[in-house]
């Protein structure tokens, strides 16, 4: 199969994908089981259900649940009716009008978003910068709370950890399909997924124990219930939908919905969403671009309702604890002093990454793959806290791994070509 990605006739072997997912999930589960002891190629993990930012996300989830009764009954009832009506209209539209299925996705999403915004308006400032991940966590905790039980930190962690690991599993699979659809080569997809699978073990080997500082490994492995796994899963899934051969308005709208919600999980994903609107409009036409944008805006009521309670509420009207969170002066620290993305690691990744860019011969595929890398690097290179929190850049890792695998495939092809086209031995007389 040619590496153009224009026609993907092959599908990824399910058995290998399942094996990669199992290995990727076995890494954090092994660390959790051995809590208090160090395993080979891993840092020592000490169980702590509410470490770091997880504390704020936990209280945001509890505050969400506690705020439901605070919504005036007429408003709450109207919201419930609106959501049910939107679902009924959506089902009928899906069945009767295939050309409007993108609306069948957007309409109930907007209704749910507005209902969530009513609850968010009643919240106090919970200490979480964003609400996307706590919103999902709260939805799963709600039945437990409805039965009269209080979700203690240990119980909440036990309920939230499967969600985090599910996001890790989604990233593993979607990284494979991102490589497949971008290049048309299944081994590029499997290679990229393999890199993601073993990265928690490779990061320490390539960068030293510095990659484990400040809880970075726990976030990477999915043990800390942070936003990164969920944010990355949403973005990579959206990119896969946009690259999927024969994608239509339904897939484009669903991709927009995922990227839009990823913005309330991680605010800087909004910049990526804006760039993707332009890419989609250029590739598929203005109509598809508008559909993508409208589906993405379904999450806007959530973003607006929580804005004053997130970073702005936490830091007294600012978006950061630092009065000048972004500055050119932070660039050197972000890369030269990073404990994770060290100059050595960047030098190791750069050759195959650059070669991989030349392997993706479709501008559309190349733009989608490199967009998370370029945007995140452009933003967080100048952010005050990137040096100590390199996890802000994790969303780019699946794209990096795709380009690494594509570059390796191109290198192997070049070596084989050189061998076959080299001077042939002369025949004996």
Q: What Rg do the C-alpha atoms of the chain give, in angstroms?
A: 23
Between CA 273 and CA 394 the distance in angstroms is 17
Does residue 398 lie within any of the structural domains? no
Note the pLDDT of residue 208.
80
Model confidence at 65: pLDDT above 50: yes
Model confidence at 278: pLDDT above 90: yes
Between CA 380 and CA 383 the distance in angstroms is 5
Between CA 421 and CA 78 the distance in angstroms is 73
Q: What's the domain count of the chain?
A: 1
Does residue 155 lie within any of the structural domains? yes
Cβ-Cβ contacts under 8 Å for 48 (sequence gap 6 or more): none
Note the pLDDT of residue 426.
56
Does residue 309 lie within any of the structural domains? yes
Does residue 278 lie within any of the structural domains? yes
The SS3 call for residue 318 is strand
Q: Other CB atoms closer than 10 Å to residue 270's CB: what's the count? A: 18
Secondary structure element (H or E) that encloses residue 99, with its range: none
> Alpha carbon of 189 to those of 40, 197, 362, 407: distances in Å?
28, 12, 16, 12
Which residue from 186, 249, 232, 151 is spatially nearest to 17, judged by alpha carbons?
Answer: 186
Between CA 224 and CA 18 the distance in angstroms is 23
DSSP 425: P
Give residue for tokens 């042939």: 424
> Alpha carbon of 255 to those of 49, 246, 293: distances in Å?
32, 14, 10
Does residue 177 lie within any of the structural domains? yes
Give tens-digit pLDDT for 222-261: 999 999 999 999 999 999 999 999 999 999 999 999 999 9
Q: Other CB atoms closer than 10 Å to residue 422's CB: what's the count? A: 7
Note the pLDDT of residue 6.
45
Which residue from 115, 107, 109 is spatially nearest to 89, judged by alpha carbons?
Answer: 107
Does residue 219 lie within any of the structural domains? yes
Between CA 330 and CA 381 the distance in angstroms is 7
Q: Other CB atoms closer than 10 Å to residue 173's CB: what's the count? A: 22
User: What are the tokens at 157?
Assistant: 């962690």
Output the average pLDDT for the chain: 91
Does residue 149 lie within any of the structural domains? yes
DSSP state letters, 137-154: HHHHHHHHHHTT----HH
Which residue from 238, 253, 234 is spatially nearest to 101, judged by alpha carbons?
Answer: 253
Give tens-digit pLDDT for 290-340: 999 999 999 999 999 999 999 888 877 666 777 788 889 899 888 988 888
Give tens-digit pLDDT for 371-380: 999 999 999 9
Residues in the chain: 429
What would the mean pLDDT of 355-363 be, rounded to a whole number?
92
Does residue 62 lie within any of the structural domains? yes
Residue ranges making up the domain that contains 273: 14-36+50-321
Which residue from 360, 87, 381, 394 is spatially nearest to 243, judged by alpha carbons?
Answer: 360
Between CA 408 and CA 402 the distance in angstroms is 10
Judge whether 339 and 386 are in contact, CB under 8 Å.
no
Note the pLDDT of residue 211.
81
Give tens-digit pLDDT for 84-109: 999 999 999 888 878 788 899 999 99
Note the pLDDT of residue 281.
96
Which residue from 421, 23, 395, 402 is spatially nearest to 182, judged by alpha carbons?
Answer: 402
Is residue 1 very low, low, confident or very high in pLDDT (cuts 50, 70, 90)? very low
Model confidence at 419: pLDDT above 90: no
Model confidence at 429: pLDDT above 80: no
Secondary structure element (H or E) that encloses residue 381, with its range: none
First to last CA, the chain: 41
Model confidence at 82: pLDDT above 60: yes
Note the pLDDT of residue 423.
60
Rounded to two decimals, what is the model's pTM?
Answer: 0.93
Model confidence at 10: pLDDT above 90: no
> Alpha carbon of 221 to those of 28, 34, 158, 204, 208: distances in Å?
6, 14, 16, 12, 16
DSSP 213: G
Helix runs in 246-342, H state only: 249-265, 269-284, 286-296, 300-306, 311-314, 330-336
Between CA 251 and CA 388 the distance in angstroms is 37
């Amino acid at each position: 199969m040619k590496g153009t990605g224009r026609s993907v006739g092959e599908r990824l072997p399910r058995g290998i994908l399942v094996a990669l997912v199992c290995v990727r999930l076995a890494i954090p589960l092994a660390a959790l089981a051995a809590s208090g002891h160090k395993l080979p190629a891993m840092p020592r993990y000490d169980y702590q259900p509410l470490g770091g930012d997880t504390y704020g996300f936990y209280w945001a989830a509890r505050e969400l649940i506690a705020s439901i009764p605070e919504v005036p009954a007429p408003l709450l009832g109207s919201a419930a009716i609106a959501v049910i009506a939107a679902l009924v209209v959506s089902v009928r539209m899906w069945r009767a009008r295939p050309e409007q299925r993108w609306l069948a996705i957007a309409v109930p999403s907007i209704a749910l978003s507005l209902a969530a915004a009513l609850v968010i308006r009643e919240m106090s400032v919970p200490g979480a910068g964003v609400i996307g991940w706590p919103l999902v966590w709260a939805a799963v905790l709600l039945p437990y709370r409805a039965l009269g039980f209080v979700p203690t930190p240990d119980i909440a962690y036990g309920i939230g950890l499967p969600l985090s690991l599910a996001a890790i599993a989604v990233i593993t699979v979607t990284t494979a399909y991102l490589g497949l659809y971008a290049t048309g080569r299944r081994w590029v997809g499997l290679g990229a997924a393999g890199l993601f699978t073993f990265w928690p073990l490779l990061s320490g080997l390539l960068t030293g124990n510095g990659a484990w500082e400040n809880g970075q490994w726990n976030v990477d492995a999915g043990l800390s219930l942070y936003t990164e796994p969920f944010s990355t899963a949403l973005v990579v899934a959206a990119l896969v939908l946009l690259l999927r051969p024969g994608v239509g308005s339904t897939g484009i709208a669903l991709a927009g919905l995922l990227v839009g919600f990823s913005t309330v999980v991680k605010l800087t994903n909004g910049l990526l969403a804006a760039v993707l609107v332009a890419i989609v409009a250029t590739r598929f036409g203005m109509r598809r671009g508008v559909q993508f944008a409208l589906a993405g805006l379904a999450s806007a009521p959530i973003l607006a309702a929580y804005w004053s309670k997130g970073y702005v509420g936490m830091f007294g009207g600012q978006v950061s604890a630092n009065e000048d969170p972004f500055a050119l002066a932070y660039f050197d620290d972000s890369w030269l002093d990073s404990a994770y993305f060290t100059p050595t690691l960047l030098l190791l990744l750069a050759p195959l990454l650059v070669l991989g860019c030349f392997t993706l011969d479709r501008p559309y595929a190349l733009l989608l793959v490199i967009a998370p890398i370029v945007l995140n690097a452009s933003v967080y290179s100048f952010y005050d806290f990137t040096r100590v929190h390199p996890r802000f850049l994790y969303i780019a890792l699946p794209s990096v791994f795709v380009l690494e695998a594509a570059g390796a495939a191109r290198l192997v092809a070049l070596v084989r070509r050189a061998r076959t086209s080299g001077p042939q031995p002369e025949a004996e007389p």
